[in-house]
Amino acid sequence: MPITLLDENGQAIATESTDGDGEFRFFDLPKEGASLTSSAPPPVIISEPQRQGFNFRGGMNLTPEFVALLLGLTIYTGAFIAEIVRAGINAVPHGQWEASRAVGLGTAATLRMIVLPQALRVIIPPLTSQYLNLVKNSSLAIAIGFPDLFYVGRIIVNQSGAEVQMILVVMATYLSFSLITSLFMNWYNRKVMIVER
């Protein structure tokens, strides 16, 4: 397919044809050619992701909504978890650090083998509720127009008018997610808990 580049005045500057893959490249463009427009419609290329050089070409993009949701929830929850972990590490007596030093462990080993296992006991319960919050906060996707469960629920409400039933279904879904998360974290909590005699 022939492609023609025009400048602002509609003057043709260069012409080129696409190759078999629908790709084209202009050579010897004038310096002012930064804001050129193409006369022909861009070729429709159905592509699949392919490794080319150091990058993938083609394929699909993540939607801005999804990335916004992912980044927003990650950063927001990350700040809360940072505070929880800090509180947990602070809860380990200072003597534990010193004792660990005394037996000759380095900083990393101290953290991994002495401090974190004890801190986890303090961290897990608030971390559980933070994860539950995360599950529930994911419903905020509706605020930025990401089609999550709640969004689909709204569409069904619009089409059927069965608002109460739909909200109850959505609530039941979130409730089951919450309960499953809660069960898992409680199991893990029992695992890291101090075995008392």
Q: Which residues bind another protein (CB under 8 A)?
A: 132, 136-137, 139-140, 142-143, 150, 163-164, 167-168, 170-171, 174-175, 178-179, 182
- Cβ proximity to another protein: between 41 and 161 the closer is 161
- Cβ proximity to another protein: between 45 and 91 the closer is 91
Backbone angles phi, psi at 80, to 5 degrees: -65, -45
Which run of H or E residues covers position 89?
A: helix 64-90
Q: How far is the CB of 127 from another protein (least distance, A)?
A: 16
3-state secondary structure of 38: strand
Q: How far is the CB of 190 from another protein (least distance, A)?
A: 19
Query: What is the torsional sign of CA 140, 142, 145, 151?
Result: positive
Are 40 and 1 in contact by the 8 Å Cβ rule? The answer is yes
- Cβ proximity to another protein: between 29 and 70 the closer is 70
Q: How far is the CB of 59 from another protein (least distance, A)?
A: 27
- Cβ proximity to another protein: between 38 and 107 the closer is 107
Are 127 and 80 in contact by the 8 Å Cβ rule? The answer is no
Q: How far is the CB of 91 from another protein (least distance, A)?
A: 11
Q: CA–CA separation, 146 vs 6, rounded Å?
A: 39
